[in-house]
């Protein structure tokens, strides 16, 4: 099995880029499932089922490209406010999906990571999510982080509570509370910050997603809805990212 660097080299060469121009961690706000369905006079849930198929294909492309981490914004805490029948259908879809993807995850050596609050999800979703996390825990390939029942502010609250409890228990000193400490206590503590954040369906909002982690991520917004997002769409986003000059707040000597 090829390493991340070997796959990145092949992908970069094919796209006319250098390895240094390739993102290592992609984050995607998958938007437009409902609009895709409504445009075709279909129930919104049809768009979500089509979107689930897109998740599978894009995740496979990321594995093939040599992407080290892929984070997908699947269901936010705010999404519970949607119509009850749509939420129930989504939870049923998650239950099915978390079982269906196990074979593909194991075949591709992908580790599934959950971002969000497990508590609050229906019991069948909790059960299948926990089992898929267990099965893939030892996998050493791409990390696939699924933001499910997730909110960026809730993540910071939960991280702060963990830090406060450790300080109270005496296992964490006051002078040990720094940026690295906060990052370590977030849901996906082992994940690096995203290099590139993609949002589909032409929405220009962050929507409470990875508020801490995207401080220096590059943004890419496309009019394409998530069900129509394909390999070529992903390649276009990567090529756009490659053009960016990532200074991380610094300015080269002599620059104006």
Catalytic residues, by residue number, are: 31, 79
Decide: residue 79, CB within 10 A, 0-12 exposed, 13-18 middle, 19+ buried.
middle
Q: What's the Cα-to-Cα distance from 189 to each of 84, 121, 122, 145, 180, rounded to whole Å?
A: 32, 21, 25, 11, 10
Phi, psi torsion values for 86, nearest 5 degrees: -70, -40
Residue reference for tokens 């437009």: 32
- Residue 146, classed as helix, strand or coil, is strand
Q: H or E stretch including 197?
A: strand 196-199
- Residue 222, classed as helix, strand or coil, is coil
Q: H or E stretch including 70?
A: strand 69-76
Q: Which residues contact 4 (CB under 8 A, 6 or more apart)?
A: 24, 66, 67, 68
- Residue 197: count of CB within 10 angstroms of its CB: 25
Query: Directed axis angle between helix 44-65 and helix 4-15, to 10°?
Result: 100
């Amino acid at each position: 099995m090829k390493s991340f660097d070997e796959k990145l080299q092949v992908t970069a060469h094919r796209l006319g880029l250098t390895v240094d121009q390739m993102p290592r961690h992609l984050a995607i706000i998958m938007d437009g499932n409902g609009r895709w369905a409504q445009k075709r006079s279909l129930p919104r849930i049809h768009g979500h089922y089509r979107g689930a198929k897109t998740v599978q294909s894009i995740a496979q492309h990321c594995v093939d490209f040599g992407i080290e981490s892929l984070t997908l914004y699947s269901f936010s805490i705010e999404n519970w406010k949607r119509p009850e029948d749509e939420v129930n259908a989504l939870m049923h879809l998650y239950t099915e999906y978390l079982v269906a993807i196990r074979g593909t995850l194991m075949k591709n050596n992908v580790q599934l990571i959950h971002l969000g609050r497990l508590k609050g999800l229906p019991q069948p979703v909790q059960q299948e999510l926990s089992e898929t996390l267990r099965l893939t825990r030892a996998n050493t390939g791409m990390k696939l982080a699924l933001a499910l029942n997730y909110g960026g502010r809730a993540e910071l609250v939960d991280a702060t509570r963990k830090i406060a409890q450790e300080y109270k228990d005496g296992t964490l000193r006051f002078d040990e509370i720094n940026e690295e400490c906060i990052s370590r206590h977030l849901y996906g503590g082992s994940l690096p910050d995203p290099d590139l954040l993609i949002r589909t369906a032409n929405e220009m909002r962050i929507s409470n997603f990875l508020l801490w982690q995207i401080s220096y991520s590059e943004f890419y917004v496309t009019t394409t809805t998530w069900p129509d997002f394909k390999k070529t769409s992903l390649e276009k986003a990567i090529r756009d990212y490659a053009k960016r000059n990532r200074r991380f707040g610094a300015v080269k000597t002599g620059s104006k």
